[in-house]
Amino acid sequence: MPRLAATSVVLLPPLLLLLLSSAAASTAAAPLPPGAGGGFGFEATLRHVDAGAGYTKAQLLARAVARSRARASTLQSLATLAPGDAITAARILVRASDGEYLMDMGIGTPPRYYSAILDTGSDLIWTQCAPCLLCVDQPTPYFDPSQSATYRSLGCSSPSCNALYYPFCFQNVCVYQYFYGDSASTAGVLANETFTFGTNATRVAVPSVSFGCGNLNAGSLANGSGMVGFGRGSLSLVSQLGSPRFSYCLTSFLSPVPSRLYFGAYATLNSTNASAAAGPVQSTPFVVNPALPTMYFLNMTGISVGGYRLPIDPAVFAINDADGTGGTIIDSGTTITYIAEPAYAAVRAAFASQIRLPLLNATEASVLDTCFKWPPPPRQSLTLPEVVFHFDGADMELPLQNYMLVEPVSGGLCLAMATSSDGTIIGNFQHQNFHVLYDLENSLLSFVPAPCNLI
């Protein structure tokens, strides 16, 4: 994937500077909003980016796997960026086109409603704004700050401006630029605005949320109109709303039933375990990677296949203290799970020895390369091994539909995991029908199996 050279110089286009002149008059260095208290929260609906687009199940799967491959490639390259290089550090953590779930939210007063890509791998909240010098296709009109009574551009000394990787200042207006793993980018004014979140029963309006009002954008928004970061940095929605907990329950992306997001006081696992057979809530601590502090890293300790714990050195899953590479990330925007070598080789070998079907030959274009001939011969029974991901203090026992799928091109029965040259990423295919809670106050990830189509 192309990178910006470390010696690159980033210059704002003259047209954007002219555009910012009109914003200078409305500058207001409003502080980040305070926490709303223990009772604050809301529920929201999450839609898969391809929902309602008329794709077949085979096409949905193929598209999700392709996005997953691109996103994983970007995530794995982050820690290798030159330390201290402001330009490379300014890149957003993922490409906008690689998110998987959309969240509805209102912006402004009166609110205009948009769908944004929910991303646990980045922080900035942004949408495309009018007047737009360069914008990409989106399903809704561009947000027009002049039509909102509560829009205020931010000054260069504001805390939000100082939280940017690489802020610009023009006539005391804070200007942001974010760059992506390819040629995609967004640039515009950093501003405060009232945001409206939640469904009708839990709808809340929150003033003074800092966001990027993008006037110069490139790339793709995957049927959305912006992004909403749920990472651990100060500009993320989680940090700004001051209620540091959220959870989601993802239905299968092949299902028409939408998924659910719970924020603040609504983010609890107390009532989601519908069956005693599902087991207790499990929790594992987050691990901080100084090279990528906004990402959700976990301490993965091993993998079991068919009841047998594989002989994998836990160091394979650990962060490299020297440069921040490696480690294990849980990520809502990557579809399949990517496992670091040599752990993936051990998983593949275990499946090959326990499944009594011929292995299919992988091609260079294959993302999934642990695939078996399917369907099996007549009257042959087939037993598939169970898979358990082991973490510090928790075991995630995956149901069959969370790790096996029928690959649309070959028709093979495939393991929904792939090899990684740098680090492990636990993707959302493995989160399906788990209620997953991110508790930043206690630095814990908790999860429990749940019927996500019913809660």
pLDDT at 263 (0 to 100): 95
pLDDT at 189 (0 to 100): 95
Reduce the secondary structure of the chain to three states and give it as a string: CCCCCCCCCCCCCHHHHHHHHCCHHHECCCCCCCCCCCCCEEEEEEEECCCCCCCCHHHHHHHHHHHHHHHHHHHHHHHHCCCCCHHHHCECCCCHHHCCEEEEEEECCCCEEEEEEEECCCCCCEEEECCCCECCCCCCCCECHHHCCCCEECCCCCHHHHCCCCCEEECCEEEEEEECCCCCEEEEEEEEEEEEECCHHHCEEEEEEEEEEEEEEECCCCCCCEEEECCCCCCCHHHHCCCCEEEEECCCCCCCCCEEEEEECCCCCCCCCCCHHHCCCEEEEEECCCCCCCCCEECEEEEEECCEECCCCHHHHCECCCCCCECEEECCCCCCEEEECCHHHHHHHHHHHHCCCCECCCCCCCCCCCEECCCCCCCCCCCCCCEEEEECCEEEEECHHHCEEECCCCCCEEECEEEECCCEEECCCCCCCEEEEEECCCCEEEEEECCCCCC
Choose the weakest-confidence range: 16-25, 139-148, 252-261: 16-25
Contacts of 243 (CB under 8 A, 6+ apart): 35, 36, 37, 38, 40, 41, 263, 264, 265
Per-residue pLDDT of 46-84, as tens digits, reads 998 887 778 787 777 777 777 666 565 555 455 444 444
195 contacts 106 by C-beta, under 8 angstroms: yes
Report residue 323's pLDDT band, with 50, 70 and 90 as the boundaries: confident
pLDDT at 71 (0 to 100): 61
pLDDT at 98 (0 to 100): 53
pLDDT at 6 (0 to 100): 24
Choose the weakest-confidence range: 96-100, 313-317, 348-352: 96-100
Residue 23 vs residue 341, higher pLDDT: 341
**Would you say residue 412 has pLDDT above 90?**
no
Interval 268-282 mean pLDDT: 70
Give Cα 422 to chain centroid, integer Å.
18
Share of the chain above pLDDT 70, in %: 80
CA angle 419, 425, 264 (to 5 degrees): 165
Whether 331 is a known active-site residue: answer yes
**Would you say residue 36 has pLDDT above 60?**
no
Interval 79-102 mean pLDDT: 46
Per-residue pLDDT of 161-170, as tens digits, reads 999 877 889 9
Interval 132-136 mean pLDDT: 86
Catalytic residue among 50, 123, 331, 422: 331
Interval 408-418 mean pLDDT: 86
Residue 345 vs residue 3, higher pLDDT: 345
Whether 119 is a known active-site residue: answer yes
Catalytic residue among 50, 98, 119, 123: 119
User: Could you give phi then psi for residue 59, rounded to 5 degrees?
Assistant: -70, -40
